[in-house]
Chains A and B, each alone.
Chain A
Amino acid sequence: MSSQPQRSDLVAKLTRPVARPLAATYRWVDERMGISDLTHQLLYEAVPRRGAWAYSLGSATLIIIVLQIVTGMFLLWTYVPSTTEAWESLNYIEHYDEFAAIVRGMHLWGAYVLLVIIGLHMIRTFVSGSYKKPRELNWIVGVILFLLVLGLGITGAMLPWDQAAYWTAQVVTHVVDYVPLLGNWLQDILRGGPQMGPETLTRFFAIHIWLLPALLVPLVGLHLILLRRHGEHGSWVNYEGVESETEEARAERMADAEYPYPAIPSDPGYAVPVDIGDFFPSQVFKDSLVSFALVLLVFIMAVVVGAPLERAANPAALNYVPTPEWFFLPLDQLLIQFPQAWMIPVGVFVLPGIGTTLLILVPFLDRSPEREPWRRPEVMVPALFAVLFLIFEALLAVNRLFNL
């Protein structure tokens, strides 16, 4: 027992020559930048206590987006965005640069995991009715972020310029040709000419590494600012009994609300969760574990499976069957269900457009204060059917593509 303080004294004595100037430097910087204040503001906020594991999906999304940005940056160390060299540079990575191949694998599996986690994050938000007043705009920003990630996924799939990438790009750039009147122009703009060529790849490279991320990053920022402005909503388990509580009890909870609550304007009783926890360390603890597990999964998949690279693009191919990335399978199935000239735009633009519009309008279609999912069947049932429809379409597409 008595040896313990002695040892720490010794440690303190030994580290003093380093620790003292370090502490002084930190103080100097902190006085000028306010790091301590900022850290305090970022970490110390009230969050809903119950159901906290489910709320870690948002931070997991953020961590995977950071993973994508960082691995993407370092893929540029070897990747050449040119029709003559893109495939060669990746083939070099796959055969002679083991670590770069893992980075590439992490970028691919990171994208897959990101899409799954965003999907789960959206479902969680939907089921708990977290998009309700005053968080409608944050739902809309979230939908836009989801669309941007889909765009990043499909443009990224074009860059290896192997067979899969070439024919994916051919199909995707041709879809815009079905836009009434302007279609031909749009296809020329995306391809850099009437056919796929060197400019097609540089365009999609620019869209993938600059245009879409330049929209994504500030919108992630806005998503977080809005989250902090209203506080986390949590889910119905955090608002048990609020509808039957007395006016006085409600007023007291409002008055005692910790930062960043109360969320205003809210439905009566829903401005502050009943049971409050700490963001740091309770929520951050769960967030860290979930994010670590996902990054570990991405790492393992990158090492064990890696990222595929098919043969180099061959526009003369006769027997190549391009299969869309799994997250575009439902759309691909619509292509076969809406054949012939006038129907194609219905399958390509009208139906996905209606789906996206409904998704954006969710907060305005479901305006009741009710949070419990089984007590708002008017939104839960259509949403369930929508999800089942997407899964069904994807299964039909898989069955078609792999039974040829």
Chain B
Amino acid sequence: MADNGRDLAKQRVSRRRFMIMTINGVGAGTALLIAAPIVGSVLSPVFAKRKTPWVLVADISRVAVGAPTAYVVNLPTDEGWPVPPVPRTVYVVKLNLNGKVQMITLSNVCSHMQCDVHWDLNLQQFFCPCHGGLYSIEGVNIGGPPPWPLFRYEHKLVGTTLYVRNVLTGTGA
């Protein structure tokens, strides 16, 4: 009898425990069911596949060596749903490297806090007005807070015609 009573008491406790554990488990499961797709949707931009098209900039044969030239190009944003392409500035820079002309395509976005930079004719440097960042004509950070060189647009040349894609390269891009 004594044993029976103890078993019964033990069983009552474990029945109560079973229900409490079920409540906790089902509660956690409910939260997980709601949270999983939300976390997935929040993280989705990290894993999104992007197909970034080439966009015509211009015939750049007339760009002079040592004179960065700004071209405004309508580039697809390539994220989210289709929206009209957004104007962006591509700096076309021709450099004379030991007698060989090399061309680079710089973005107008500072590597520090991503304000807009411009080629300053007096300084002969790229200048960011936000925090006073300075870059050489090659886009190398040479003064102020910017940690890295200016980002570059991926580009290709067909003859003298320049195409870019809305993909930025370089450290921190």
Q: Are A171 and B46 in contact (CB under 8 A)?
A: no
Answer whether residue B130 sits at the interface, using C-beta atoms and an 8 A cutoff.
Answer: yes
Q: Are A315 and B87 in contact (CB under 8 A)?
A: yes
Q: Are A171 and B114 in contact (CB under 8 A)?
A: yes
Partner of B80, one of A192, A194, A332, A404: A192
Contacts of A282 in B (CB 8 A): none
Cβ contacts A317-344/B at 8 Å (1 or 0 each): 1111110000000001001101111001
Q: Are B80 and A199 in contact (CB under 8 A)?
A: yes
Answer whether residue B101 sits at the interface, using C-beta atoms and an 8 A cutoff.
Answer: no
Answer whether residue A366 sits at the interface, using C-beta atoms and an 8 A cutoff.
Answer: no
The smallest beta-carbon distance between B89 and chain A, in angstroms, is: 4
Q: Are A189 and B113 in contact (CB under 8 A)?
A: no
Q: Are B118 and A197 in contact (CB under 8 A)?
A: no
The smallest beta-carbon distance between A164 and chain B, in angstroms, is: 12
Answer whether residue A121 sits at the interface, using C-beta atoms and an 8 A cutoff.
Answer: no
Q: Are B80 and A335 in contact (CB under 8 A)?
A: no
Answer whether residue A170 sits at the interface, using C-beta atoms and an 8 A cutoff.
Answer: yes
Q: What's the Cα separation between A340 and B149 when bound, in Å?
A: 11
Answer whether residue A177 sits at the interface, using C-beta atoms and an 8 A cutoff.
Answer: yes
Q: Are A340 and B77 in contact (CB under 8 A)?
A: no
Q: Are A189 and B46 in contact (CB under 8 A)?
A: yes
Q: Are A197 and B84 in contact (CB under 8 A)?
A: no
Residues 110-126 of B at the A interface (beta carbon under 8 Å):
112-118
Answer whether residue A276 sits at the interface, using C-beta atoms and an 8 A cutoff.
Answer: no
Q: Are A318 and B70 in contact (CB under 8 A)?
A: yes
Interface size on B, residues (CB 8 A): 41
The smallest beta-carbon distance between B93 and chain A, in angstroms, is: 14
Interface size on A, residues (CB 8 A): 40
Q: Are B83 and A197 in contact (CB under 8 A)?
A: yes
Answer whether residue B66 sits at the interface, using C-beta atoms and an 8 A cutoff.
Answer: no
Q: Which residue of B lies closest to A340 (CB)?
A: B147
Cβ contacts A338-366/B at 8 Å (1 or 0 each): 11110010000000000000000000000
Q: Are B168 and A170 in contact (CB under 8 A)?
A: no
Q: Are A188 and B81 in contact (CB under 8 A)?
A: no
The smallest beta-carbon distance between A129 and chain B, in angstroms, is: 39
Answer whether residue A195 sits at the interface, using C-beta atoms and an 8 A cutoff.
Answer: yes
Answer whether residue A84 sits at the interface, using C-beta atoms and an 8 A cutoff.
Answer: yes
Known: A171-B130, A195-B77, A344-B112. A84 touches B46 (CB 8 A): no
Cβ contacts B32-63/A at 8 Å (1 or 0 each): 00000000001101101010000000000000
Answer whether residue A250 sits at the interface, using C-beta atoms and an 8 A cutoff.
Answer: no
Question: Is the contact region of chain B dominated by helix, strand, or loop, or is it mixed?
Answer: loop
Answer whether residue B156 sits at the interface, using C-beta atoms and an 8 A cutoff.
Answer: no
Q: Are B88 and A315 in contact (CB under 8 A)?
A: yes
Answer whether residue A185 sits at the interface, using C-beta atoms and an 8 A cutoff.
Answer: yes
Contacts of A198 in B (CB 8 A): 77, 79-81, 83
Contacts of A321 in B (CB 8 A): 115, 129-130
Q: What's the Cα separation between A336 and B70 when bound, in Å?
A: 27
Q: Are A185 and B46 in contact (CB under 8 A)?
A: yes
Q: Are B147 and A341 in contact (CB under 8 A)?
A: yes
Q: Which residue of B lies closest to A335 (CB)?
A: B131
Contacts of B108 in A (CB 8 A): 316-318
Q: Are B80 and A193 in contact (CB under 8 A)?
A: yes
Q: Are A335 and B45 in contact (CB under 8 A)?
A: no
Answer whether residue A132 sits at the interface, using C-beta atoms and an 8 A cutoff.
Answer: no
Answer whether residue B86 sits at the interface, using C-beta atoms and an 8 A cutoff.
Answer: yes
Residues 83-117 of B at the A interface (beta carbon under 8 Å):
83-84, 86-89, 108-109, 112-117
Q: Are B45 and A192 in contact (CB under 8 A)?
A: yes
Known: A193-B48, A193-B77, A322-B130. A336 touches B145 (CB 8 A): yes
Looking at B43, B116, B131, B168, which has the most chain A CB atoms within 10 Å of its CB?
Answer: B116
The smallest beta-carbon distance between B137 and chain A, in angstroms, is: 16
Known: A167-B115, A171-B130. A318 touches B89 (CB 8 A): yes
The smallest beta-carbon distance between B141 and chain A, in angstroms, is: 9
Partner of B132, one of A192, A199, A336: A336
10 further A-B pairs in the complex, CB-CB below 8 A; given A192-B45, A195-B166: A84-B83, A170-B114, A191-B79, A317-B116, A318-B118, A319-B118, A321-B115, A336-B145, A339-B147, A341-B148
30 contacts between A and B (CB under 8 A): A82-B83, A167-B115, A167-B116, A174-B113, A189-B42, A189-B43, A189-B45, A191-B79, A193-B79, A194-B168, A195-B79, A197-B79, A198-B80, A199-B80, A316-B87, A317-B89, A317-B108, A318-B116, A319-B118, A319-B129, A320-B116, A321-B115, A332-B131, A335-B112, A336-B145, A338-B145, A340-B147, A341-B147, A341-B148, A404-B129
8 nearest CB pairs, A to B: A193-B79, A339-B145, A341-B147, A197-B77, A318-B118, A199-B80, A316-B87, A198-B80
Q: Which residues of A contact B (CB under 8 A)?
A: 82-84, 167, 170-171, 174-175, 177, 185, 188-189, 191-195, 197-199, 202, 314-322, 332, 335-336, 338-341, 344, 400, 404
